[in-house]
Homo-oligomer: A and B are copies of this chain.
Amino acid sequence: MISRTLLTSAAAIALAAGAIIPAAAAPNDSAGEALEARFDSMIDPADQVAWLKEMSSAPNQVGSPHDKANAEMQLAMFRKWGWDAHIETFQALYPTPISTTVEMIAPTRVALGGQEPAVPGDATSGNTAGAMPPYLEYQGDGDVTAGVVYVNYGMPDDYDALARRGISVKGKIVLARYGGGWRGLKPKLAQEHGAAGCLIYSDPANDGYAHADSYPKGGARPAQGIQRGSVEDMTTYPGDPLTPGVGATAKAKRLTRETSKVILNIPALPISYADASKIIAALQGPVVTGKERGGLGMTYHWGGKDAVKVHLAVKSDWSLKPVYDVIAMLKGSTYPDQWVIRGNHHDGWVFGAADPLAGQVALMSEAKALGALYRGGWRPKRTIVYASWDAEEPGLIGSTEWVEQHAAELKQKAVLYINTDNPGRGYWGAGGSHDLQHFANQAARPVMDPQTGVSVVERARAKILADHYEDPASVKPWLYKAAKAGGDLPISALGSGSDYSAFFQHLGIATIDTGFGGEDYEGGSYHSVYDSFDHVMKFDDPGMKYGAAVSKVVGRMVMRAADAERVPAHYSDFASTVERYVGELGKLATKQRAKDRELKELTDQGTFKLTSRPDDPTVAPEDKGITPLIDMLALQDAADRLERSAHAADAVVGQLDSLPPATRAKVDAQLRTIDQSLIDPDGLPGRPWFKNLVYAPGTLTGYGAKTLPGVREAIEQRRWDDAREYVKKTAAVLNAYADRLDAAVAAAGTAQ
């Protein structure tokens, strides 16, 4: 353990040298620039269009012949391009529907559900013979007939709104719309509230005609469009439900369906708004108004006490299915045991053209170009690992099982994981480890936006500034400030929803997820039959121009990370981000306490009795007690120390080239896997698989990140003991990170 006096003195030296510049995140020689220019010249969007068309020509869900064929095609291409490639196979629980039934039986009998119809102008939309009917992976099977309650997004706030109206979902089928939080939380919360079944539909307010013309005229979800998806309880753990923490090899020890904690007990199915509107039109009870109603052209009612009855039945084949991960390597010349890993998945829900294949063909473009460079004599210092994951859709399975299977090796070797998924069109963005914020910006900066010809970073900056002009409240002040300052754009915190989870949140490996967005209509085809080659070509990324931009951004990240003297990081970016998070926690607790007190005061005064509407009677919100003062000093102290340690470390790294190689190696040894110091082996409360104490998917957001989650969620969910405990634990991982920084500074300082 290094003393803080030592640190301060080493930092002072570095500071005096005026050396606070980011570590080399850009190629620092003309050779690097030339390499990148050659790489760019080989990225051909026409390749991507051709591969996309082939790979999305037939249903490619897990276990389908075309999914396997795609894996094998990629394997062959990797090999052709000079990579050392293989397919690694896992056996995962992947139920497939034997029968699915949705029908309204009262007040009138109406058959609902079934496959989406073909539409003119979409060449594959009729090619659904090998597709599954609309389905939710890891729903619970069952056969129920029950009344219906509309639950809006089916999130905790919505159950509060129902409780205030005395409406229970016990024994009912809930009808939830997509949005407001991750899909899997909807049936999970419904089940926790006693529901017998769950239907989820796509409301036109969220991804339909409110945003664009309906497909095929425009990119928006049509009346018959259905969003499939997984409802595995991924906020507990992702991957194969039967093998948490270990690779789902053929011989792995397995839980049973019944003992797995991430599979639902109630049946659930996704439906279209053409179907949902028939149920909604029949519901009675209090009227749903304001933000809780969707965009259908009718009055919404909560239902619950009326004569609407729906029959919902699901029967599935609960057998294991094979998962084909394609793994390809280019061996590093100098540090072969340091791996730069880059992945995207190849399984879709039906044709999966945008999700995931638009990202997959960008990855293949990179692999083709990198292979050509390699064959032409280029040798990256570090080993490059390209992964085409299978079974991301049901639960990030291909990546998770691979990471669990190779965990020990990855902890040693992985220096960076770079992910893409359905990368879209429009504005560049990235999320991940904030010590790589500058690195991500530098990699994106030289890449030109296909539409405007300016740097993708500058176009993204323009978007933040224009949004602020249109509606200042829509842009976070810190984001606006950073955009206006003209330097790096902040990257976002990662929650979940793609293959980085096991790397980032289970092992703590430094991670970047990147892509474009804001000008595509992938939301309108998402997880439906209409996520097709034609939809992508017309509405998402015509000509795969943004696909090419993705390749150029990610290719730079890969080449720079593989070739740099060390993986470039800028620790102050992480420190200042953590400082902001810690500040947010303080505000969260203060605001929640004030809100609790306001509620108590108003309830005591009878305010909610006085404001209950005659035609929509409500009781006061539930009194959940007063949020106590939580001592966060340890966290504030750790953030403060981190800030100073990071500045010192950045200064040292800035002049690393002037140090002798042996010293550099010592410094690098401290920093190379520094992000793993954010891991607590015990993980988060109630979900030990999630071990990163700075970034996690929210248990009640699912995709959305919760930063400093051990503390933040404990406050939000009123687990005060957890909050106090995780203040200490989180402070400890931040101190562990700072220890590494201090040790690096000490190593450099000792040498000088």
Mark A residues whose CB is within 8 Å of B: 204, 209-214, 218, 220, 287, 289, 293, 295-299, 449, 451-452, 454, 458-459, 462-463, 465-466, 468-469, 519, 595, 598-599, 602, 605-611, 613-615, 621
Shortest CB distance A542–B (Å): 9
Residue of B nearest to A213 (CB): B299
9 contacts between A and B (CB under 8 A): A209-B298, A212-B287, A213-B287, A452-B609, A462-B611, A465-B602, A466-B607, A466-B610, A469-B602
Inter-subunit contact B462/A605 (CB<8 Å): yes
- Tell me whether A297 and B298 are in contact (CB under 8 A): yes
- For A298, give the chain B residue with the smallest CB separation: B209
Number of copies of chain A assembled together: 2
Contacts of A295 in B (CB 8 A): 295, 297
CB distance from A458 to the nearest CB of B (A): 7
A287-B211, A605-B462 known; A519 and B298 CB under 8 Å? no
A458 & B610 in contact (Cβ 8 Å cutoff):
yes
Flag if B297 contacts A466 (CB, 8 Å). Answer: no
Chain B nearest CB, measured from A662 CB (Å): 48
Partner of A466, one of B458, B466, B608: B608
Contacts of A614 in B (CB 8 A): 451, 519
> What are the 7 tightest A-B residue pairs by CB atom distance, in nearest-first order?
A297-B297, A462-B610, A466-B611, A209-B299, A462-B607, A213-B299, A459-B610
Q: Contacting A210 at CB < 8 Å: which of B289, B449, B615?
A: B289
**Measured between alpha carbons, how far is A595 from B458 in the docked complex, in Å?**
21
Closest chain B residue to A603, Cβ basis: B469
Of B212, B287, B297, B465, the residue contacting A204 (CB under 8 A) is B297
Give the contacting residue for A214; candidates B299, B449, B452; CB below 8 A: B299
Q: How far is the CA of A618 from the CA of B220 in the complex (A)?
A: 21
Q: Let me know if A297 and B209 touch, CB within 8 A.
A: yes
Give the distance to chain B from A520, nearest Cβ to Cβ, in Å.
10
Q: How far is the CB of A295 from chain B (nearest CB, A)?
A: 7
Interchain CA distance A41-B40 in the complex, whole Å: 89
What residues of B have a CB within 8 angstroms of the CB of A213 in the complex? 287, 299
Q: How far is the CA of A134 from the CA of B602 in the complex (A)?
A: 46
Given contact pairs A449-B610, A462-B606, A463-B611, a sample of 20 additional A-B residue pairs in the complex whose CB atoms are under 8 Å apart: A209-B299, A210-B289, A210-B293, A210-B299, A212-B299, A212-B615, A213-B287, A218-B299, A295-B297, A297-B298, A452-B610, A459-B610, A462-B605, A463-B610, A465-B605, A466-B602, A466-B611, A469-B595, A469-B598, A469-B599
CA distance in complex: A293, B598 (Å): 36
Most chain B beta carbons < 10 A, residue from A599, A606, A611:
A611
